[in-house]
Amino acid sequence: MADDHPTPERRAQLGSIGLATGLGCSIVVTLILTIGGGVLIDRWRGTEPIFTFVGLALGLIVSGYELWELANVGNPSRSGRLTRRLGGAPARERRSRGDEE
């Protein structure tokens, strides 16, 4: 019977794919929510297109931050809140097993 457990290299690849997919989805959701919220506020207040542009700008800023986080995953010297949280767990596991970082 074949061993169904992935190799450490494959596990790292799958983790990277999952991280990139999750952050990509969060970028799309962020843009949809901020721009959609701006459109709804504009319709409610009759101020078209002011809040739509505010939502677009806010969505681009947040998406830019999320992309920066994705680019810095695994870089301990330049990490934000998300990368510290994602990168911290494997380091603790390696230390508890006695592996070198």
Give residue 67's pLDDT: 87
Find the helix packing angle between 50-71 and 81-97, rounded to 10°.
20
Q: How far is 30 from 23, CA to CA, in rounded Å?
A: 10
pLDDT at residue 84, rounded to an integer: 52
Per-residue pLDDT at 64: 93
Tokens 């992309």 belong to: 67
- pLDDT tens, position by position, 2-41: 567 888 898 888 888 888 888 889 999 999 999 999 999 9
Q: Where are the domains of the chain?
A: 22-97
Residue 42 has pLDDT above 70, yes or no: yes
Q: How many CB atoms are closer than 10 A to CB 47? A: 13
| The model's pTM | 0.66
Polymer length of the chain? 101
* Model confidence pLDDT, tens digit, residues 49-73: 999 999 999 999 999 998 888 787 7
